[in-house]
Amino acid sequence: MGISHGNDNDGAECDNYQVMTPLGGTGQERAFCKAKGACYYRTLTCPAECAERKPKDKKKKGCFINCGTKCEATCKRRKPDCDGYGSVCYDPRFVGGDGSMFYFHGAKGGRTRDYTWVQAVSIMFDAHTLDLAANKVSKWDDKIDSLTVKWNGEIVKIPTAGEAEWRTNGGEREVVVERTDYTNSVRVSVKGLLELDVKVPDTDAFAHLETQFRFKGLTDQVEGVLGKTYRPDYVSQVKKGVDMPIMGGEDKYCTTSLHSTVCKACKFQRPTGYKASAY
């Protein structure tokens, strides 16, 4: 999925706020909005049902503060919504930015429509790489963490206590990986680029990922199997009225590896001087 970024849009402005002291007596978190527009300089308070943005009880919903055009604080689950916009789940099924659903079917060793789950996702920006992958398991145990996270090729351990998060040392593109359950579920945030919920579901021994993307600062030329569905002028090429319509076009997105930036439709390129051996 290739992503092309431009000036920040409402998606980038929604989390442009300063955290304030919680509401007295209730513990409900508050935020002072800095985003220009309808929510500028307004204070939003989390609902009593989800008083915290990052609840200590990982099973609870969290407070989602939107300082963009919606200007609201609402309760939301902190796991991928496989029926929501920007989700990639199952074998896999995509839900585009326009709400359309479509499937991706692959082949391996002459067998068709097998091996079509998502086992790893790589987020590449600037000279950095963040990988999230489901480990291969012979028997599922939800008490064991089957999710591996790598930053620039090195495995990172996500804490289980306190804030239960790992983050880079600031910078323009701060990266935060936060646990949203005690094992096998995290939320990834890359400042100004995207937010991503990732879960390794306990459906079978073929461990795979369920994901949901929320993009920030997309341009009208955004590309990719999922990305292009966020274009304002996107029109699906799928033929209507067919039981199993075929979209085609896979030749535009085929790459030689998870970290390859070379394909017919790829737009992202590493900066000058980038050394692949560093990863």
Residue spans per domain, the chain: 17-77, 93-252
pLDDT (0 to 100) of residue 176: 95
pLDDT (0 to 100) of residue 162: 81
pLDDT (0 to 100) of residue 204: 58
Tell me if the pTM is above 0.95.
no
Q: How many whole angstroms separate alpha carbon 249 and alpha carbon 229?
A: 14
pLDDT (0 to 100) of residue 111: 63
pLDDT (0 to 100) of residue 106: 72
pLDDT (0 to 100) of residue 246: 76
pLDDT (0 to 100) of residue 79: 92
Beta-strand pair 120-125/111-112: unpaired
- For the chain, residues with pLDDT lower than 70 are 1-13, 107-115, 170-171, 204-206, 244, 276-279
pLDDT (0 to 100) of residue 279: 38
Q: How many whole angstroms separate alpha carbon 15 and alpha carbon 197?
A: 16
